[in-house]
Structure 1
Amino acid sequence: MHWVYLAVAIGAEIIATSALKACDGFTRLAPSALVVVGYLVSFYALSHALKTLPVGIAYAIWSGLGIVIITAVGWVLYGQKLEAPALIGMALIVAGVVLMNAFPSSTDS
């Protein structure tokens, strides 16, 4: 069940972060509400995932996938350019998350 909570946390964080640009400095009500609710759901679900997952692993997956997916959302929805350094950086983030999961620390709980 902890993986479901983590997936919900990631999805809610992606929705909330995507809405940040649309809320225009919290001047537009609907996207602003989506940001607040999305982050509340994300942190709530992340807190439940952390009941059984090590904090370092859960946070690496949550933030790493969030960065990569939000970058893709920015590219698709907002026409943001993805140049080679950004793509290399995202590949390094994914590699780091994979390594952390392959060799979890015994003190990471």
Structure 2
Amino acid sequence: MKYVFLSLAIILEVIGSSFMKASNGFTKAGPSVITVLAYLICFFFLSQALKSIPLGIAYAIWGGLGIVLTAIVSVVVFRQTLDIPAIIGITLIVAGVVVMNFFSKSAAH
């Protein structure tokens, strides 16, 4: 269940970030409300995941997957582009999360 909570937190974080972009600096009410609600619920689910996943591991997964999924949304929905340095940076973040999860004794599985 802990990874279900973490997955929900990640999805809601991506939704919150995406609607933050759509809120145009919190000048549009609908996207602004969705941003706030998505982040509130996101942090609730993250707090539930943290009951059984170490903070560093949970945050690395949450942040890493959040970056990847948000980058995908920015390309697909907002038609933004990622250059080679951005792609390399995202790849390094993902590699770090993988190393932590598969090789660190800190990871709780």
Alpha carbons of structure 1 residues 103 and 23: separation in structure 2 relative to 1, 3 Å: same
Contact kept? 1:64, 1:97, Cα under 8 Å: yes
* Alignment partner, residue 52 of structure 1: 52
- 1:30 is paired with a residue whose SS is helix
Letter in 1 for 2:52: T
Structure 2, gaps ≥5 residues long: none
* Alignment partner, residue 41 of structure 1: 41
TM-score by length of 2: 0.94
Distance in structure 1 (CA, Å) of the matches to 2:107 and 2:94: 22
For 1:88-99, list aligned pairs within 5 A: 88-99=88-99
Structure 1, gaps ≥5 residues long: none
* Alignment partner, residue 30 of structure 2: 30
Compute the RMSD of aligned alpha carbons. Answer: 1.4
- Structure 1 stretches of 4+ with a deviation exceeding 3 A read 105-108
Per-residue CA deviation, residues 19-65 of structure 1 (Å, 9 max, x unaligned), is 01111111111100010000001100000000000111100000000
